[in-house]
A and B are shown apart, each in its own frame.
Chain A
């Protein structure tokens, strides 16, 4: 589209049947519809998490005298996130509730900004800027995945003391059958929901690398537009959006 007299509707915005009805290209609209279907999947996961969580007793139902300060983990009631997620790499044994997950949230929000900056650079057809911001986005994605890998490893291996059951047996960490944090369903949902989100981040990073590769090789420059950066950008922002909800419902509420 580098010619001076471009048609009113460039090829990538024209549908087979004529002009695009919603003023977005076919691929972008389909990305939106796909993200909508993905919204349903994640909603289903979070709704079922909520239902199961509230069908378990809280610690106040079991031990009315216990407060949030004196809370202790038990398999008889649902845990509170501040007491489960309080470890940070290299700061062994120090209780820092929600600090690490806050860092992960920051990383993902930041990589969302660098992504939208890459999209903006694409509008200006600035190849060097697209490459720069895509690289930052990919880096952010890898940092998030690394953090999640650490968090999973810590969750699975557990704390040094573990949990002592009524029959004297010890439980360390978590698997799908039992865990030291609370009812089995708690760890099951943790693995499923953060795992499903992490899979999305992983595919997002793969897509970002492909876009970076194509942009660097001048594919989009020759094509005349950087709409592919926008489409993958939509996906990447969606992954960030899902994390905002997972963060609220899994780590804060």
Chain B
């Protein structure tokens, strides 16, 4: 873990030099709105998609908003330090994708005390009242959709295994809650095994191989709390000589490999809309500064999307999940190429 931190710290130092150079380079431009985005980790695909989407926001592209993305390196303390930096650098707003549900509260409180707008995105902190506003997809709902898709395909009865995320993270806690709530409606479904694969495909692969050996012929469905876990399980099923179409597998997030697997008819997935969460958060940060601001993200109803803008006055916006189907998968894959 210490080594790990070192790796990330080294990268941060490089990034820091880069940011400093950029800041100096742009100091001459006319006063843009300065927003710092403190994200979980730029070595997970979703956060990268999120950061890319944020940089594609029209006002970031035309230079009227200056966005700085800070890599939290999956470490709550690092994120807290980045908040301190953003506060002392007097950023106009901070967008926060917290690593830890509880450790995230205090930095937000400090920024709020310093009079800086803080917008939450993607993952949650336990005290969301501290935010000016937050925009996220409901992970309990994702857990429900995930479980229901597998259970229905199993015909409502049989044995499932659950590959869990990193224990204690908000996505793991809430997706599991959704799965457990759904289980109550399916009395004939039995959970054979439930263990963490730490969001990792390689770990899920070994885990599933071992489960297929331990419960030969007994596993009728697989729930992965994210796509990486579901894909690892899917590969184990195939390596075991089983037909993936006979064992329903589902994950969440809509990473590229999952989209490809859905297209092959081998798994089910639900897309988490990174564009909406990232660009929507920037819109919320800007409307907090200028009440007459017109939002840019496509997800808002005023721009033809499904999420009600409500003049930017709401405190909580819930971005709808997009179930990946054979009908929309080609379009999503096409979109992914440009992200």
Say if A and B assemble together.
no
Enumerate chain B interface residues (CB-CB to A < 8 A). Answer: none
Enumerate chain A interface residues (CB-CB to B < 8 A). Answer: none
